[in-house]
Every structure is written in C-alpha cells, then in structure tokens.
Amino acid sequence: METNFPIEKAIISLINCYKNLVTKKMRPLGLYPGQDMILLELLKEDRIAQNQLVVALCVDHSTIAKSISRMLKSGLVRTEKSTKDKRITLVSLTPKGTALAKQVEEIWQEAEQNATADLSSEEQRLFIEMIDHIIKNLNHE
C-alpha cells in the first residue's frame, strides 16, 4: 500500500536503518540500550552530575539512575557525592568504561561515515538544515 506521507516514511526508514546498523555493531559490547549515549556523554565531559546526564540525553531521572546502577555493577562508571552539595551524585568513567566509550565512539563515527558517504559537505549541511527546520516545525505543534 502506497503511503500518503512520504516525509514520515523517509524519516522512519532513515531512523530504522541507522539504528539497525549501530545496534548490530553495539551488540557485541554487551551494553543495554542508552548506555552507549551515557558513555559518549561521559567521554566528552567526565565527572558530571547525574542530573546533567538527564538534561543532556533528554531522558527521565529514573532511566539514568537505572542505567548508572547497571554500569556501576559492570565496572564502567564510578559515582561519588559532590563535596559542594551532598545531594548531587557525580558520575565518571573507570578505565574499563573509558576503553568501552572509545569503542562506542568509533562505532558512531563509522555509522556517520557510512551515512554520509558520497555526500558533499554542502549536501550534508543542507540535510542538517532541513532536519533542523522539520524539528522546529514539529515542536511548534
């Protein structure tokens, strides 16, 4: 059946293809969904408040808390209370977590290269501009 919503179909197909590629490469690392994004965020800025992860990754606090708990048990992160405010939990990578985060980063970089192969810099810029425009349109609803 032909769809009357070609933009929707294109967006969903793109997301599914990209997600499938990344998921297939992440599976051997033994990560739970979303942990890759936490690792990447900590690789950018280590020793950050758990609440900063909530904001940066646009997920709720319980999701981050559960992921951090699993990652603690796996030896990927460590936590400590802030010396300035004991209510704040700081999260940092362990050496094992840093090594895994670098593998995750390589997978995401490879996916980016695959996705943009044969696209000029101008085409990439225009694509991002169009996606940003669509997001703004959708956020106005």
Instruction: Report domain extents, the chain.
Output: 1-30, 32-103
- CA separation for the pair 123, 82 (Å, rounded): 45
**pLDDT grade for 3, boundaries at 50, 70 and 90:** low
Q: What is the CA radius of gyration of the chain?
A: 18
Closest CA to 107 of 50, 52, 28, 16: 28
Predicted pLDDT at 50: 93
The pTM score is 0.82
- CATH annotation of 32-103: 1.10.10.10
pLDDT attached to residue 79: 95
Residue 88 DSSP class: P
pLDDT at 97 over 90: yes
Range 9-26 average pLDDT:
91
